[in-house]
Amino acid sequence: MLGYIIRRILAVIPVMVIVAIFVFLLLRLTPGDPAAIIAGDSATPAQIQRIRESLGLADPLHIQFITWMGQLAQGDLGTSIISNQPVTRLIGQRIWPTLQIGTLTIILSVLIAVPLGVLAAWRHRTWADYAVMTFSVLGFSIPVFVIGYIFIKIFAIDLRWLPVQGYTPPGQDLQAFFTRAVLPCLTLATIYIALIARMTRASLLEVLGEDYVRTARAKGVKEHVVLFRHALRNAAVPIMTIIGTGFALLISGVVVTESVFNIPGIGRLTVDAILARDYPVIQAMILLTSAIYVFINLLIDISYTFFDPRIRY
Amino acid sequence: MQFRNRPFDTAPVALKIEKLTVRTANDDDAVKILDQIDVTIREGETVCLVGESGSGKSVTSLAIMGLLPKGALEVAGGRVELDGMNLLDLDASTMRKLRASRISMIFQEPMTALNPVMKVGDQIEEVLDSHTKLPAREKKKRVIDIMEQVHLPDVERIYGSYPHQLSGGQRQRIMIAMALILEPKLLIADEPTTALDVTTQNQVLKLIAELQERHGTAVLFITHDMGVVAEIADTVYVMRHGKIVESAPIETLLRSPQKDYTRNLLEAVPSLIPRDARPLADGAPALDVEGLTKVYDTRSFFGRGRETRAAQDVRFAIRPGRTLGIVGESGSGKSTVARCIMRLIDPTDGRITVGKADIAKLGRAALQPHRKHIQIVFQDPFRSLNPRWKVGDSLIEGPLNFGQSRKQALDHARELMELVGLPPDALGRYPHQFSGGQRQRIAIARAIAMRPDVLVADEAVSALDVSVQAQVLKLLDDLQEKLGIAILFITHDLRVAAQICDDVVVMQHGRIVEHDTAGNVLSRPQHEYTRALIDAAPGRRWDFANFRELATA
């Protein structure tokens, strides 16, 4: 068990190195010269060259790479070209709203989606199943920003139950945090509820046909125990995979929601950085998102051993 | 042969089934799966329900338990009476309370019938949780007690084990413990030993009989194995196409069956008396195996690697036109040997000579031309044919790979269909349109389409009903006569081995413990393991096909 976890953690290192190489090359090899952008339209070639040298962009590619990796290893992600602040500090300011909204969303999704999926599988081919499946298709097909504006129209403007947008840190005022977080979370959750409910249903339907479920019924076990204790845990591995991948996608997909609800998270930071061609920030954001992906996948892999004692690689 | 021959006419009735009819649900032209069946089981009695696949045995048991698959099957009439109640009238909650407390059930596959992610102790305890309100300590005591009653070793350790950490026999004991912990009135056992080795089967059958005696349980035992029936039944019901064909006390049924169907069923049971070995032909062996060894390394990250010797120093040879059987229990290495010879896995050491070439160490490309000389037929005809391919496509794939033209290959395939007793239009159909026996004929046709010198049959008739089994064995025999191929026949079933093999190799723990003609091995076994295997074969003192005791018992 411990050996498995350590091996999984060690396997993360080469993945992250490869990601770093890709990020580095991606930005160096795409057209567009950051030095020219910083210098502005009226700069002379000499000015641009000076800026290029000060950014280290004039060095050969491999020297740039080694320098960059050296900085990375020390936790230095560079300095924003636009705001002149260290990128680590920029991210540090922005990541908490994103993580809070993301975590809340995924908890909400799981709490709603798993029971819905179980219901659909248990009442297979009845109206309950069809209702869940219809909702699931809708959840997939309506774009996030449309759902967001519909929620704002109904709950904030017409009913006036909740504020339209904004963000308050939970440390400052917990109630204000929740009232402002509800709409963005619900908006984001729609697609994940659809996804997780579908996966739960499919996975559970398969397990409900297994012999040990028949055995449990033959033992006279109550139906809810059959569903949750016997079936759901055996169906857990694919559901966990979807939840984990969903969470990772969520962190990188908050861009739209944060714009709609005006939340100062990393989604907005990324959008601003891209619009301004702020290369160090873009680089850092891609690295960070990849790291989150890898880390969450690591957690999923480890969670498998908890759900299924047979998994010991 | 000692039959149980116990009188039950005066014992109180435990379960009475009257005119039970089950049909397919949600269907305008519903098919009757069970048609007015009557079965009576008395306290302490063992009633065997026998019949071939599709006869309705398992549906009967599920109908009693109220566990018919929802939306697929439904009861259309009749009564199932237990304790004066008609079980068919009960609501879901009352029925649930009766399960495990008044009627319980054990299933065929101990591998899949236990929840893989729950400790087995908890799974037994769950029965108590569902039906009683006992304090935790008392519950644990009851669980440990029943685990001891089913003779599990090292009970404390097994209590905390997961199913995959136990052997098949141990898992079936857990199932039995679960079924009997509340001392139900009726135990339904649906093919409970079919997936087990003969020696384990023997122990489990004895265990069921012992617990039945102790608790006075009535047992409804469902099986297709006449040998098992002869060992354990008091009364036998023969089923076919959802109807009871005949019922009688065991000895009466075996000595003087009244109905033709029962006679045919009994006559199809292969005899344990080996056939005479055919005269040894001259010439070089078609397959010559020497010093074959397969070692599996289990490497672990921190600990040291472990070696498993799946086959060790295995040697034998088969001449053209003869059949050599490898018998042994699961884990004896017989399938490993078959797979090595087919080069589906790579042997660690040894020589495998097919014709003149040693193929044991050949690489992928060098092996290719030799592949057609040696072909295999697998156990499960439902899974060994590609379900999305027409039979014809499966049949000609091999010959096309070896350079035959499509037309040649198809012509040959049509001849093969005739040879294995199928209509030529079978080539244009898909595997699911055939029965198990027909599919196995197709699998055999596919193998001999390559015109091999050696045919490996890995448990090739084990998944088939006895009557079908007999036909497929005959087919193999006929083909061998016509084509002169050598057959390597892997089986766990001594009766089958006695019918088809000239020579028999007995394997245990990856080694050959005995190698002689079938006659010598089965009639005058030298090794103690061979003797144990033969002793464990159920119904071995009865000559089913002739309705009497074996002459040489």
What are the pLDDT digits (tens) for B327-370?
998 888 898 999 999 999 999 999 999 988 899 999 889 999 99
B1-102+184-269: what fold?
Rossmann fold (3.40.50)
- The Cα–Cα gap between A223 and A200 comes to 17
* Cβ separation A218–B131 shorter than 8 A: no
Q: What is the pLDDT of residues B43-53, one digit of tens each?
A: 999 999 999 88
* Cβ separation B115–A309 shorter than 8 A: no
What structural domains and CATH numbers belong to chain A?
2-73 (no CATH), 90-307 (1.10.3720.10)
Nearest to A214 among B67, B118, B126 (CB): B67
| Chain B residues touching A310 at Cβ < 8 A | 116-117, 162, 164
**Residue B462 pLDDT more than 60?**
yes
- The Cα–Cα gap between B330 and B493 comes to 11
Nearest CA-CA partner of B420 in B383, B460, B389, B387: B460
Q: What's the pLDDT score for residue A174? A: 86
User: Is the CB of B178 inside 8 Å of chain A's CB atoms?
Assistant: yes
Model confidence at B552, pLDDT cuts 50, 70, 90, reads low
* Cβ separation B100–A219 shorter than 8 A: yes
Q: What's the pLDDT score for residue B553? A: 43
- The Cα–Cα gap between B143 and B137 comes to 10
CA dihedral B284, B287, B293, B297 (to 10 degrees): 150
Among A60-64, A217-221, B32-36, B42-46, which stretch is predicted with the lowest mean pLDDT?
Answer: A60-64
Kindly report the CA angle at B89 between B87 and B94, in degrees rounded to 5?
Answer: 65
Distance between B122 CA and the closest CA of chain A, angstroms: 11
Model confidence at B299, pLDDT cuts 50, 70, 90, reads low
CA nearest A221 in B: which residue?
Answer: B130
| Chain A residues touching B96 at Cβ < 8 A | 220-223
Q: How many CB pairs under 8 A join A and B?
A: 79
Distance between A162 CA and the closest CA of chain B, angstroms: 44
Buried/exposed code over B345-378 (b: 16+ C-beta within 10 A; e: otherwise): eebbebebbbeeeebbeeeeeeeeebbbbbbbbb
Structure tokens at B57: 């045995």
Model confidence at B127, pLDDT cuts 50, 70, 90, reads very high
- Percentage of chain A beyond pLDDT 70 is 98
**Residue A231 pLDDT more than 70?**
yes
Q: What's the pLDDT score for residue B233? A: 94
* Cβ separation A309–B127 shorter than 8 A: no
Model confidence at A50, pLDDT cuts 50, 70, 90, reads confident
Model confidence at B251, pLDDT cuts 50, 70, 90, reads very high
User: Is the CB of B19 inside 8 Å of chain A's CB atoms?
Assistant: no
Q: What is the pLDDT of residues A117-169, one digit of tens each?
A: 999 999 998 999 999 999 999 988 888 888 888 988 998 889 888 888 888 88
Helix, strand, or coil (residue A118): helix
Q: What is the DSSP letter of B433?
A: G
* Cβ separation B300–A233 shorter than 8 A: no
| Chain A residues touching B117 at Cβ < 8 A | 233-234, 307-310
Model confidence at B311, pLDDT cuts 50, 70, 90, reads very high
- Give the residue-averaged pLDDT of B469-498: 91
**DSSP element (H, E) containing A179:** helix A174-208
Model confidence at A94, pLDDT cuts 50, 70, 90, reads confident
* Ordered DSSP codes for B184-221: -SEEEEESTTTTS-HHHHHHHHHHHHHHHHHHT-EEEE
Q: What's the pLDDT score for residue B3? A: 81
Residues 454-513 in B contacting A (C-alpha not used; CB under 8 Å): none
* Cβ separation B105–A222 shorter than 8 A: no
Q: Do B1-102+184-269 and B287-536 show the same overall fold? A: yes
A56: left (phi over 0), alpha (psi -120 to 50) or beta: left
ipTM higher than the 0.85 cut: no
For B67-150, strand residue ranges (E) read: 73-82, 85-86, 103-106
Domain edges within chain B: 1-102+184-269, 114-183, 287-536
Q: What residues contact A62, with CB distance under 8 A and at least 6 apart?
A: none
Interface test with B, best of A9, A122, A213, A219 (most B CBs within 10 A): A219
- Percentage of chain B beyond pLDDT 90 is 67
Amino acid at B266: L
Nearest to A222 among B101, B114, B130 (CB): B130
CA dihedral B222, B224, B226, B227 (to 10 degrees): -80
pTM: 0.83
Nearest CA-CA partner of A1 in B484, B180, B303: B303
Q: What would the CATH number be for the domain defined by B287-536?
A: 3.40.50.300
User: Is the CB of A215 inside 8 Å of chain B's CB atoms?
Assistant: yes
Model confidence at A313, pLDDT cuts 50, 70, 90, reads low
Higher pLDDT, A144 or B514: B514
| Chain B residues touching A222 at Cβ < 8 A | 96, 130
- The Cα–Cα gap between A173 and A104 comes to 16
User: Is the CB of B114 inside 8 Å of chain A's CB atoms?
Assistant: yes
